[in-house]
Amino acid sequence: MQKRILTGVKPTGAPHIGNYLGAIRPALALAKKHDSFLFIADLHALTITPKPAELKEQVYGVAATWLALGVDPKQTVFYRQSDVPEITNLAWLLSCVLPIGMLERAHSFKDAQGKNVEREDIKHGLYAYPVLMAADILAFDIDVVPVGKDQKQHLEITQEAARKFNLIYGDGCLKVPEAMIDEQVMTIPGTDGRKMSKSYGNTIELFGDDKELVKTVKKGIKTDSTEYGLPLKDEGDTVFEIYRLIADPTRIEAMRRRYQTGRKDPDGPNDPGNYFGWGDAKGALADLLLEHLGPARAEYRRLMADRGHLDQLLAEGSDRARAVAHPILERCLKAVGLRS
Ligand code: ADP
Ligand code: TRP
């Protein structure tokens, strides 16, 4: 039988190429090979009290992003966390067995304390975040949770919650999941060469309009001052790094030779008409992005223009999710003595 995997994504701002190459594309590849669950962690998003209208928009945005990039909602169970009350119900049962020491040691809580945030401003939701995350996973008898290194501690808390619960209420109540930690997650560089991140303002957005994308690539990406006609350094160059993660091997090799020779046609003449400089490299990347992402960009716009359809897909997903979570919650309610 296929292993059951689960991925949770927080609805945050406009998705960028770093999110796509570093998180979305690998998750989609895994989803194809497993019995997969994918959900929008909208309750988790509340811990930073976003503006209601923005949150609503971002939930649609993240749903449309994943669907446009290839989630198959017939195969993957794709839902919104807040549509599955079994999750929050289970979270309470877990709260009642998890020691507070574990939560006090959680990075997100410690970070908030370390930043000298007024105690009044640290919300219980942030403190309890790992409990809700444990419930996200344990409510579905998940076998494996693929996550980045930053989520390792949350997975340990999840495992601990399941073990504690089983110890008190009997083996087999909750399935202890495995973490699949990708130690060498690729870090996609942004326009300034640092990690691409919304917080650095150095992103290339996935779903901005065409003109904006071309402008960000051509004007935004910083390159060195190699003279036109001389070889370009591909190592550590944002343009080449992104190009190589998207193009097929033949095109990558052709691009590498252009970089190495500084010529459009590497075997062609030493003539300014045949020079290959940063402007050309950026033009090639912009073309590649438009070509590779074109269908997803069109699909994203189509989905965002039809909220009713998104609502319907999410409603179907939550029905499927609840059908799985309901008996698991009932099993736990019975184990603790709240059901006969
Ligand atoms: P941001 O740093 O822009 O706020 P998020 O923290 O919302 O991005 O990231 C969402 C997902 O995308 C995470 O799984 C994260 O690991 C991945 N991700 C974000 N930026 C990059 C990047 N530059 N390279 C690789 N993966 C990234
Ligand atoms: N905490 C995760 C993040 O910050 C999102 C998340 C919530 C999650 N619940 C999850 C991830 C369950 C995997 C499994 O990105």
How sure is the predictor about 105, in pLDDT bands with cuts at 50, 70 and 90?
A: very high
Cα three-residue angle 207-211-212, rounded to 5 degrees: 55
247's torsion region: left (phi>0), alpha (psi -120 to 50) or beta?
beta
Whether 136 lines ligand 2, by a CB cut-off of 6 Å, is yes
**Is residue 44 a contact partner of residue 87, using CB atoms and an 8 Å limit?**
no
Q: How far apart are CA 90 and CA 44, in angstroms?
A: 15
Told to judge if 10 belongs to the known catalytic residues of this protein, a careful annotator would answer: no
For range 215-220, the mean pLDDT: 96
Structural domains of the chain, ranges and CATH numbers in brackets: 4-189+307-336 (3.40.50.620), 207-299 (1.10.240.10)
Helices (H) and strands (E) in the chain, counts: 15, 5
What gap in Å lies between CA 340 and CA 324, rounded to an integer?
20
The mean pLDDT value for 325-333 works out to: 98
Determine the pLDDT at residue 108. 85
pLDDT digits (tens, 9 = 90+) for 218-270: 999 999 999 999 999 999 899 999 999 999 999 999 999 999 999 999 999 99
pLDDT tens by residue, 40-72: 999 999 998 999 999 999 999 999 999 999 999
Q: Which residue(s) pair with 161 in the sheet? A: none
| Cα within 13 Å of Cα(204), Cβ side | 34
CB atoms within 10 A of CB 39: 25
Q: Which of 198, 218, 264, 334 is an active site residue?
A: 198
Whether 184 shows a pLDDT value over 90: the answer reads no
| Per-residue model confidence (pLDDT) at position 183 | 75
pLDDT for the residue 110: 87
Q: Report strand pairing: 4-9 vs 35-40.
A: parallel
| Mean predicted lDDT score pLDDT of the chain | 95
Tokens of 300: 């994203």
Residue 93's pLDDT is what? Answer: 98
* pLDDT tens for each residue of 107-145: 888 888 888 788 888 899 999 999 999 999 999 999 999
In which order are the strands placed within the sheet that holds 178-181? 77-80, 35-40, 4-9, 144-147, 178-181
Q: Using CA atoms, how far apart are residues 87 and 38, in angstroms rounded to an integer?
A: 14
Instruction: Name which residue sits closest to atom 20 of ligand 1, judged by CA.
Output: 18
Confidence of residue 39 (pLDDT cuts 50, 70, 90): very high
To test the pocket of ligand 1, the residue of 19, 25, 180 to mutate (highest count of ligand atoms within 8 Å of its CB) is 19
Check whether 185 has a pLDDT greater than 80.
Answer: no
Does ligand 2 have an atom closer than 6 angstroms to the CB of 139? no
Proximal ligand: closest to the CA of 7:
2
Ligand 2 touching residue 145 (CB < 6 A): yes
Query: Does 272 have pLDDT greater than 90?
Result: yes
